[in-house]
Amino acid sequence: MTSQSLTPPVLELRNLVVEFVTRHGTLRALDGISLSIAPGEVLGVVGESGAGKSLTGAAVIGLLEPPGRIASGEVLLAGQRIDHLPMEDLRHIRGKRIGTIFQDPLTSLDPLYRVGEQLIETIRTHLPVSEQEARARAIALLAEVGIPASEKRIDGYPHEFSGGMRQRVVIALALAAEPELIIADEPTTALDVSVQAQIIAVLKKLCRERGTAVMLITHDMGVIAETADRVAVMYAGRVIEIGPVRDVVKSPKHPYAKGLMGSIPALDERPERLLQIEGAMPRLTAIPQGCAFHPRCPHVMPRCHEARPVLEAVGAGQVACFLHEVGQ
Amino acid sequence: MTIPSPSTGPSSSGDSLWSRIMAHDLTYLFFRSPLTVVAAILSVAIILAALLAPWLASMDPFDPAQVFLADANIPPVWQDGGDPRFVLGTDDQGRDLYSAILYGMRVSLVIGLSGVALAATIGITLGLVAGYLGGRVDAVIMRVADVQLTFPAILIALLVNGVVQALSKGTSRETWAFGVLILSIGLSFWVQYARTIRGSTLIEKNKDYIHAARLVGQPTPLILLRHLLPNVIGPVLVILTINLGLAIITEATLSFLGVGLPPTQPSLGTLISIGNKYLFSGDWWIVTFPGLTLAIFVLSINLIGDWLRDALNPRLQ
Amino acid sequence: MLAFIIRRILQSCMVLLTVALLAFTMFRFVGDPVAQIVSLDTPAEEVRKVRESLGLDDPVIVQMGRYLYKAVQLDFGISYQFRQPVIELLAERAPATLELALISSLLSLAIGIPMGVYTALRRDSVFARVFQSISLVGVSLPTFLIGILLIYLFAVTLGWLPSFGRGQVVTVSGRWSTGLLTASGLKALILPSITLGLYQMTLIMRLVRAEMLEVLRSDHIKFARARGLTTRAIHFRHALKSTLVPVITIAGLQLGSIIAFAVITETVFQWPGMGALFLKAVQNVDIPIMAAYLMIISALFVTINMVVDLLYAFVDPRLRATIKG
């Protein structure tokens, strides 16, 4: 058995910078993202919309939409750099080694093809199996994601499935080639509250069984608290805190993370009032100098205006805030 | 994975046409597209030339006293047999082609603009009424629009032409050809405006400011004109531009087919029609120069229209 | 499915009825039905008798019913100019128009769709830009000017192709005169069908391009990319199919209008079809022909539209579901 420390993380981002070149100048949408996901681990990525969560996912699988591009930094899949691979090599990684689940199951599937046809084409794109084998595998996958009578439903069209069922199909598609990593981008946001928990449960169970790592992008802290092993909190294109889920949810260190966690009502406590962060996240065109959060921060210090804090180890996690600088 | 566009913030999401234009940096995009700039310059030049025809032309082709049959079918000045008085040559009646094109452009432009204005007026009115009142009025108007949409504009225009001709037995074509062409174009092109306006009206009429206006007891026509119209008129701009090109083509086609303007009031289409008869005998200039003018003008308008449509389409930003 | 077909047929009948009403109004009030039968020197007494025998003194609604009843049996009255039943004149010229329209449609689809797909997929390539520019020139040049240009180039200057007429035609099964079976007939078809098809081709190309660009931005294509499918599968299996579904409808409408557009092409090339006949009718105020042409064209449109709608249902499973339900 190889020792734990020798196994490289499934995914590692090193100082990833994504930029958009527009006629108003170059916008930095992701500014030095560093994080890693261990095999079988579920990493939650949280933040407000526009913080760069989805963009991080898109950058990993090489599907940034122009004019977006990776300006610098590295993306490593199981220790190998993939950010500079040619398009065709990246394509072989997508679907095969990294599965993806998008937000809206209603529009993720091609309405003109049967569910089975889409599964079979995905399986056969990545695995050397015959049509029959692929079909058998597709039926098994559908059964695994909890679609009853899967050998019949496989010949249905997407519009014949409910939203929750379609998202199960999408999960089956993401798992079709047994990937090492799944990037789930807001997988439950578009669904009814009643089915959200089921979908998360299915995703969690299947990934645990297979040892598949998950990058779970969401703004739903409840889902994170229940599902993730570790959490990365993003703000204005930067990771401002990352650590084990218990620590970050129960005792967040960064003032922004505190505000974010404070905005979830807990059932077992009765807080006087929910915490709220003043103001709104800056637009990409107007990210403040120094710490991007300083204009809204209740603990702002003079140096926050000038210098940008970097992620530093605090306890079991890392925080990018001068309040928690070593030695303070 | 959408990136917030820096140019469209909450400050610029106002509904008035002007603020929308500013939000899209139309001027910036305009100068970024050299082809559009060229097209705009050409269009303006042609429109100016048409407006200033009496001063730019060397003769008035409508004035029989200035036209002599002896000067018929003279080639352009650089060819053998050319005459320095007629730079681009003459047509079969001895009219100076250069002057005839200037005046013909004028005729085409007036008919095109009036036809489009008529079509827009009919379409916008019916669209507003159909969208705002809904119910049976809406059903009738839109059904008529659907039926008409199945026929190409040129067919409608021909029919209108035929009917008017039948009803005006005996009177000379000169007296009504102008009006009938405008009417034909107006009745052929209104549907697109009606559909567009109706669509936006259906959305706008449920907004608070309309409810408010109704609650204060403002009369319906006032609500339609003062409140609704300014908020739904935006997309019409693109249709207007593209339709102007189509209208000018329609006029030219009708005149070419011999049901438009008579040879005594030549538009570009009439001139091309005349030229077509002499093409086989080698008199190429009569058809070429009016045809070229028409093609360049319509192409320029369409280039502007195309650009405008892309520039105003938020999804292509 | 049956309910859908019946509903569509009823809708089509409504459209046809509206058009028929219009045609009747033209026939009865704009034209003068008596003029079909009498000449200028017919005594007044006889004219009155003719009026009576034609039932022109009956209530309008009765006349309308009679007109419709006759129209259904393809009796559209007598042409003023030719003193011949309108239906005979139209039937004689129908093959010329239909063959021209068919070839033009095929041409515009066969070239327009691939060009549209190409310009959408290779948006920034040189060829795509060239195609885009050509298409804009195509919609900007009036059909008659294109026809004249082609005649001047290929008939007058080069002398390769005939400039007018259908060439040699062969009569098939006693009624249909076709130009598709002789070399000269085929040669004569080339220029007119290019002229007629060019405008539709550019429209279809622009339509396919716009639609395909839209589809390429859609979520299911993004997801197909994320699934790691080959570019080929994404473009031609998924994007193209989604593109062609809405294109079918509009292409159907366009092809319908080709028949009416033929008026211009037939005039330029002196093509002996229904369009040229209609134009002559407009010029000479031959109301019965105008009314009949209007109805026949709209019947053709309606039929094409219905076929297209049914075709649509076979391509799009979502629609098939709503039709069944």
Domain extents in chain C: 2-72, 89-324
Nearest CB to C318 within list A111, A174, A176:
A111
- On the question of pLDDT at C174 being above 80, the answer is no
Nearest CB to A110 within list C220, C315, C321:
C220
> What residues contact residue B38 under an 8 Å CB cut-off, 6+ apart?
B300
Mean per-residue pLDDT pooled into runs of 10, chain B (317 residues): 40 53 64 81 88 79 72 74 74 80 88 92 91 84 79 80 76 75 88 87 82 82 82 81 87 84 81 81 81 89 83 58
Residues A221 and A313 in one domain: yes
| Contact list, B7 vs chain A (CB under 8 Å) | 24
Residues A57 and A197 in one domain: yes
| Contact list, A125 vs chain C (CB under 8 Å) | 227-230, 233
Region for B289 from its dihedrals, namely left if φ exceeds 0, alpha if ψ lies in -120 to 50, beta otherwise: alpha
Residues A125 and A87 in one domain: no
Distance from CA of B310 to the nearest CA of A (A): 17
Helix or strand run (H / E) with residue A25: strand A25-37
Task: Record the tokens describing residue B305, joined without a space.
Answer: 């229209």
Confidence at residue B148, expressed as pLDDT on a 0 to 100 scale: 79
pLDDT > 90 fraction of chain A, expressed in percent and rounded: 38
Confidence at residue A263, expressed as pLDDT on a 0 to 100 scale: 62
Q: Which of A161-165, B87-91, C74-78, C91-95 comes out lowest in average pLDDT?
A: B87-91
pLDDT band at A15 (very low <50, low <70, confident <90, very high): very high
Asked if the structure places residue A75 within a domain, the reply is yes
Confidence at residue A44, expressed as pLDDT on a 0 to 100 scale: 92
CATH of the domain at A249: 3.40.50.300
Give the CATH architecture of domain C89-324. Answer: Orthogonal Bundle (1.10)
Residues A55 and A148 in one domain: no
Asked if the structure places residue A59 within a domain, the reply is yes
pLDDT band at A268 (very low <50, low <70, confident <90, very high): low
Residues A191 and A298 in one domain: yes
DSSP lists the bridge partners of residue A234 as A239
Q: Looking at this protein, which amino acid is placed at residue A323?
A: L
| Contact list, B4 vs chain A (CB under 8 Å) | 50, 283-284
* DSSP secondary structure, C58-111, as one string: S-HHHHHHHHHHHHHTT---B-TTT-SBHHHHHHHHHHHHHHHHHHHHHHHHHH
Confidence at residue A137, expressed as pLDDT on a 0 to 100 scale: 93
B158/C19 CB distance under 8 A: no
B28 and chain A: CB distance < 8 Å anywhere?
A: yes
Asked if the structure places residue A157 within a domain, the reply is yes
Asked if the structure places residue A2 within a domain, the reply is no
Asked if the structure places residue A4 within a domain, the reply is no
Q: How far is CA C273 from the centre of its chain?
A: 13
Number of H helices, E strands in chain C: 13, 2
Confidence at residue C171, expressed as pLDDT on a 0 to 100 scale: 80
Residues A172 and A184 in one domain: no
A68 and chain B: CB distance < 8 Å anywhere?
A: yes
Out of A132, A154, A176, pick the residue that ends a domain.
Answer: A176
Confidence at residue A117, expressed as pLDDT on a 0 to 100 scale: 93
Residues A226 and A82 in one domain: yes
> ipTM of this predicted complex?
0.86
Count: domains in chain A: 2
Q: Which of A31-45, A161-175, B7-21 comes out lowest in average pLDDT?
A: B7-21
- On the question of pLDDT at A328 being above 70, the answer is no
C257 and chain B: CB distance < 8 Å anywhere?
A: yes
- On the question of pLDDT at A126 being above 90, the answer is yes
Q: What is the C-alpha radius of gyration for chain A, rounded to an integer number of angstroms?
A: 21
Chains that touch B (3 or more CB pairs under 8 A): A, C
- On the question of pLDDT at A23 being above 60, the answer is yes
Contact call for residues A124 and A134 (beta carbons, < 8 A): yes
Confidence at residue B4, expressed as pLDDT on a 0 to 100 scale: 42
A102/C315 CB distance under 8 A: no
Q: Which of A291-295, B172-176, B269-273, C57-61 comes out lowest in average pLDDT?
A: B172-176
Give residue-wise pLDDT tens across range C264-297.
Answer: 899 889 899 898 999 888 888 788 888 888 888 8
Asked if the structure places residue A27 within a domain, the reply is yes
C281/B162 CB distance under 8 A: yes
Q: What is the C-alpha radius of gyration for chain B, rounded to an integer number of angstroms?
A: 23
First to last CA, chain C: 8
* DSSP secondary structure, A164-200, as one string: HHHHHHHHHHHHTT--SEEEEESTTTTS-HHHHHHHH
C152/B279 CB distance under 8 A: yes
- On the question of pLDDT at A194 being above 80, the answer is yes
A58/B9 CB distance under 8 A: no
Q: In whole angstroms, what is the distance from residue C258 CA to residue C200 CA?
A: 8
Q: In whole angstroms, what is the distance from residue A169 CA to residue A156 CA?
A: 11
A23/B28 CB distance under 8 A: yes
| Contact list, C302 vs chain B (CB under 8 Å) | 150
Burial per residue of A66-92, b for 16 or more beta-carbon CB atoms within 10 angstroms, e otherwise: eebebbebebbbeeeebbebeeeebbe
Residues A158 and A40 in one domain: no
Out of A146, A176, A206, pick the residue that ends a domain.
Answer: A176
DSSP state of B10: G
* C171-199 mean pLDDT: 83
Task: Record the tokens describing residue C7, joined without a space.
Answer: 């509903």
Residues A282 and A208 in one domain: yes
Out of A139, A158, A176, pick the residue that ends a domain.
Answer: A176
Asked if the structure places residue A1 within a domain, the reply is no
Asked if the structure places residue A164 within a domain, the reply is yes
Give residue-wise pLDDT tens across range C195-226.
Answer: 998 888 888 898 899 889 889 988 899 999 99
C229/A92 CB distance under 8 A: no
A285 and chain B: CB distance < 8 Å anywhere?
A: yes
Contact call for residues A122 and A205 (beta carbons, < 8 A): no
Residue bearing the bigger pLDDT, A148 or B173: A148
Instruction: Find the domain containing A123 and state its range.
Output: 105-176
Residues A138 and A45 in one domain: no
